[in-house]
Amino acid sequence: MILLLLFIYPIIRGFISKFSSEYLKGSIEGVFQSFSFLFSLCLGIYYTKKIFIQHDEGMYANIYKNIPPKAIEFINSSPLVIYILLMPLLIMIIYSIITFVVNIIAHITLYPLFDTIENKLKKKSILFNRIVGAIFQVPKAISYVIVITFVLNFMSLLNVADTYNKYLEESQAYNYISKEVVIPLTNSKLAKKLPNIVNNSFTIVVKDPSTLAPNVQNNRKQGIVYYNGITLEQGVKSNDEINKFAINLAQGKDGTRDKAKAIYKWVGSEIVYSDEKANRVLNNDTQMTSGAIPTFDSKSGICFDYACLYVAMCRANNIKVRIITGQGFNGSNWVSHAWNQVYIAGENKWINVDPTFLIGGDYFDTKRFTIDHKQESIAGEW
């Protein structure tokens, strides 16, 4: 509703005000500012990610290396700073440069043209002038909607409130514009490929913790007992074929970290995300198979299946592993999600691993995890 009102408002105002050169110049200037902002937003997001998150090639790696160690330490300890401070700063610098250049071009080319159009329309009827005025406001209306959608998307990433996320989740206009405009413009490989799964994509049944096996209890005394009709233990159940394959895959790798990463890369790249299965989950269809074995056989599944197969392959290599449930940001809103943690004995710590998100970048013990994963809970540990 908000986006619809934003679209209609400038068109109605243009109809009431009629066409005038000065009014149109102001409107066009607003359009230029909006699209300059969008362009700056895209460039700012792209270069911020390249420098502060990926920094794995060329000039981006060189820039990152020249940043003072204290600053890098601060960014790594609070990765959200990238989004709430560094990215907006870079966007505003780019925006100022683009706006300056565009205004010069507009004053030389478009504004004289508008004066000519106004002189020719003076002889036309009032209704005709109103219609033309409304038509010339359409670009401004479109720019309003796109800019506000960007703002709503960014606020969703910051996790303003669950009710806010639910509102965006249910907004068809927001989700359409976000998928078709925001995600492509921000160049998010992850968001382009992940389906829009809503919060009920997990079927979770909580039992009395005393009836659960020790490895499926967590700190909140809750656990996933059934998922699509199977228990968590059934989900991570393996077989000889998976075990042999996992051992061969990790063979020759030095230490737990390298073995865990080799498994992560294989699961994330060889298993295809099943949109069909995700949709069936949304419709409460429990007649499909889930877990490590069917996922390994079919080479497809959803996040729970990725996590189960990762557990099975880690267990075959005697690697301590967990399934974590929580929420992940899919580019439009927060959705229910499952991923893993593995224990690196030499470092005495658990690290986050998300094979499902591999399609969008490196999600093996990276700082970006805290940006698009939240509300984690240990579903099981082996």
Name the DSSP class of 333.
S
| pLDDT, tens only, 351-376 | 999 998 887 778 898 877 877 888 77
Give domain limits for the chain. 2-187, 200-381
CA distances, 20 to each of 16, 118, 306 (Å): 11, 6, 60
| pLDDT, tens only, 286-301 | 667 789 999 999 998 8
Q: Which residue has the tokens 């509102």?
A: 167
d(CA 72, CA 368) in angstroms, rounded, equals 14
Model confidence pTM above 0.85: no
Residue 58 CB neighbour total at 10 angstroms: 9
Give the CATH number of domain 200-381; options: 3.10.620.30, 2.130.10.10, 3.40.50.2300, 2.60.40.10: 3.10.620.30
| pLDDT, tens only, 107-138 | 888 778 777 776 766 667 777 777 877 777 77
299 and 270 Cβ atoms separated by less than 8 Å: yes
CA distances, 275 to each of 82, 272, 299, 302, 373 (Å): 32, 9, 13, 8, 21
What pLDDT is stored for residue 285 in this prediction? 65
263 and 321 Cβ atoms separated by less than 8 Å: no
* Amino acid at residue number 97: I
